[in-house]
Amino acid sequence: MHQANVQDKRTTCTNQHSQSLLRQNFRWARKTWGTVFGSQAKVSLETLTRQFSFSLNGGDLQIINSNWYVTHTGLIGLARRKRCCGINVEATNSLCDSTASRFVLKATVYPSKNSSGFVGYGDADPFPLASDPFLALAKLRMRSDRKASEQKKSQTDQEDRKWVEQATADTYTWVTRYTKTCNEHWVEEGRPSPLEPFPADEYFSDVFDIMDLDERVIWWEKSRDIMLSWACVAHFELHAMKTPYCGFLFQTQKDTKVIQLVDYAKHLWRNSGERIQRAFPRRNRSNASLTTN
């Protein structure tokens, strides 16, 4: 109930902000462009405001021949709101003609540090493409490049899916090779870092195989030396990652131990790498709660 209330409040705040921004944009447009700001431009502005939160006062948009154009400032702002890691914009010289004020721009957006980026093209000429063979050719070039970019992205996605399937084929493979644990005693033990792969001891392979059996209840003898608690967390976390709308429950003698185990499960996901995180995004894990009786 609490999470539902929080979500409702966030939705209400978002809608209020969007409505307020829309009123500001309408006032600014009427004041700045007057009769140029017609009914069609008004409808388009409402869509751009609600979907992308563009601000006329902030210089995000310009109107030319009753059509809206996103400025460089607007593009940077949108990238920041979408939490993009970076964006690179450059002119495509072979398609530009400065004497005729025609420019074709290439924008590469990087959603993360390790991403190869997504490419898009746009022209800075307000005149219709149909009336200008040069710009018509540029449009064909942009379509061709966009199609090539989409094909490359599709191929990359297929390669990523195959890699993820191999990396998460079983708990032992994933936890010993494709994620890292957090060792709280790394200083005392003289380890170079608290982040290390799960120990690749052979008995863990047997432990995870037993956990994968169809037995409803499995009893393990308590031991502080063979890391069974952490192995259980790894097994459950991978199962929950790969199974939609699946969760798991820990029950311990102390609240602090439960919190430690839940944090460890989150830590394993956070250190799995970008491709695994994209394949198995966390749903509401940041709102994990603790219930005691």
Q: Which domain holds residue 37?
A: 1-83
- How many domains does the structure of the chain reveal? 3
Whole-angstrom distance, CA of residue 56 vs CA of residue 25 = 6
**pLDDT at residue 106 is higher than 50:** yes
Q: Residues 46-64: what's their mean pLDDT?
A: 88
Specify whether the CB–CB gap between 121 and 149 falls below 8 A: no
- Do 174 and 283 lie in a common domain? yes
**pLDDT at residue 202 is higher than 80:** yes
Whole-angstrom distance, CA of residue 18 vs CA of residue 13 = 9
Answer with the residue of higher pLDDT: 168 or 95: 168
- Do 253 and 143 lie in a common domain? no
Domain end point (choices 38, 64, 83): 83
Tell me which amino acid residue 7 is. Q
Q: Residues 273-290: what's their mean pLDDT?
A: 69
- Do 195 and 128 lie in a common domain? no
CA 119 vs CA 75, 96, 146: distances in Å: 14, 18, 7
**pLDDT at residue 99 is higher than 50:** yes
**For residue 293, what pLDDT is reported?**
45
In a domain, 292, yes or no: no
Dump strand ranges (E) for 58-205: 61-64, 67-70, 86-91, 104-110, 118-123, 181-182, 195-196
What does DSSP say about strands 118-123 and 104-110: parallel, antiparallel, or unpaired? antiparallel
Answer with the residue of higher pLDDT: 176 or 141: 176
Q: For the segment 205-261, what is each residue's pLDDT rounded down to a tens digit?
A: 888 888 887 666 677 777 767 888 888 899 989 988 888 888 788 788 888 888 888
- Do 213 and 236 lie in a common domain? yes
Whole-angstrom distance, CA of residue 167 vs CA of residue 179 = 10
